Amino acid sequence: MSILPIPDIMADSIYDVDPTALTARGVRLVLLDVDNTLAPYTENSPRAELPAKLAAMQAAGLELFIFSNSRTERPRIFSKALGLDFVQRAGKPRLKKLRAVLAEKNVQPRETALIGDQIYTDVLCAKRAGAVAVLVEPILFSNPFLALRYQLERPFRFIGARRQKRHEQH
């Protein structure tokens, strides 16, 4: 388990995450961030193409679960629309609620992936737990503070991209 927030897998979006790459790593449970991962902050419902992508992930044998830091009703809305269980106010990168979900689902951290768009919450939480950290590009920069935060994440994104490129070459 590493505390360096370097992603294990990087993708342009949730639509580019290969479910077979996750199952090949032994992943059974996928925790999904909502904000700027499944939809931009400006949209309060899933996009039309999202259910098909998530169904493909489930068909590959992955159990999906919404795991969001949001304090709004968005995780509940997405959960209901997509037919998934959820936790809001997850407190990422803290591990308390993540451990509770893993215990409830009877899944080990190494059998879990967390997909999100932020290094200091999503990736750091996954790495601290011993789970697979999947980083996607944020969908929309609607908030100047978040744009600055993403700039501070650039070194970790760069290292993650280099590692992934090396891994793909072998």
Instruction: Give the C-alpha distances (Å, rounded to integers) separating 71 from 15, 74, 109, 145.
Output: 25, 8, 25, 18
As a whole number of angstroms, the distance between CA 75 and CA 87 comes to 7
Q: What's residue 4's pLDDT?
A: 78
pLDDT at 86 over 80: yes
pLDDT digit string, tens, across residues 94-108: 999 999 999 999 999
Q: What percent of the chain has pLDDT over 70?
A: 89
Helical pair 144-152 and 154-169, crossing angle rounded to 10 deg: 50
- Predicted local confidence at residue 158, as pLDDT: 67
**What's residue 141's pLDDT?**
66
The neighbouring-strand residues paired with 133 are 114
User: How does pLDDT run across 111-121, given as a tens digit for each residue?
Assistant: 999 999 999 99
